[in-house]
Amino acid sequence: MIKVKAFVCNPFGENTYILSDETGECVIIDPGMYTGEEQNEIVSYIKEEKLSPVLLLNTHCHIDHVLGNKFVNEMFDLLPQTHEQELPMLESVSAFAAPMGIRYELSPRPEHYLEEGGKVNFGNSGLEIILAPGHSPGHTCFYSAASNFLIGGDVLFYRSIGRTDLPGGNYQQLITSIREKLFKLPENCVVYPGHGQATSIGYEKQYNPFLN
């Protein structure tokens, strides 16, 4: 079974996730740590749990989800992995940071890219890659069939959906991604979103006002 630990980071209230299994290997997804306190909290958790980070994954490359990429790279010698269509987003983060007064340390470029239908592995565990564009062009989600959860990024939220008014956003594409890909997962699949509380596929099918 995979253990999921969430940390709320940065001025945008972004959820950074650390996934680990019984081997002690772990994956850092969407590192949004911005302050020294947020960085220390995550490093302390990794040390206390005796974890070994082996993967750095970005669901997408909006600023709030990549603020900690460079820190993780320097601390654990990991390069980010994301979908190739997210590269223009990653390269434009600096332009967005300055007007908002956000301090941004330049993320390293990915060495490997995630592909639709592929899989990433750590320890005894694997995560299926689901391409779910709409919030951003190459947005990916990570699904564990064995542990029945989805790291959903900014696609599906508790009674809400991701924004589509940012560069690369497409409302109809987002709705299609949710209906044709996420809603095919089990009803009791837990969804861990990029912001806010966890939810489930079945709950959102029934109560999400954007999808009813």
Per-chain mean pLDDT for the chain: 97
Residue 212 in this model has a pLDDT that exceeds 90: no
User: Which regions of the chain does DSSP assign to beta strands (E)?
Assistant: 3-9, 14-20, 25-29, 52-57, 80-83, 113-114, 119-122, 125-131, 140-144, 149-153, 156-157, 160-161, 190-193, 199-200
Question: Closest by alpha carbon to 136, among 194, 68, 94, 97?
Answer: 194
Question: Closest by alpha carbon to 83, among 55, 58, 117, 64?
Answer: 58
What are the pLDDT digits (tens) for 69-125?
999 999 999 999 999 999 999 999 999 898 889 999 999 999 899 999 999 999 999
pLDDT the model gives residue 167: 83
Contacts of residue 194, defined as CB under 8 A and 6 or more positions apart, other chains included, come to: 14, 15, 30, 59, 64, 65, 152, 153, 154, 157, 162
pLDDT the model gives residue 163: 96
What are the pLDDT digits (tens) for 144-168?
999 999 999 999 999 999 999 988 8
pLDDT the model gives residue 58: 98
What are the pLDDT digits (tens) for 13-48?
999 999 999 999 999 999 999 999 999 999 999 999
Distance CA 5, CA 42 (A): 10
| Rg, C-alpha atoms of the chain | 16
Query: Two tokens at 155?
Result: 């696609």
What are the pLDDT digits (tens) for 187-196?
999 999 999 9
Nearest 10 degrees: Cα torsion 158, 161, 166, 172 = 170
Mean predicted confidence (pLDDT) in 200-208: 98
* β-pair partners for 18: 5, 28
Residue where the block lists tokens 């669901």: 59
Domains along the sequence of the chain with CATH: 3-207 (3.60.15.10)
Mean predicted confidence (pLDDT) in 164-188: 96
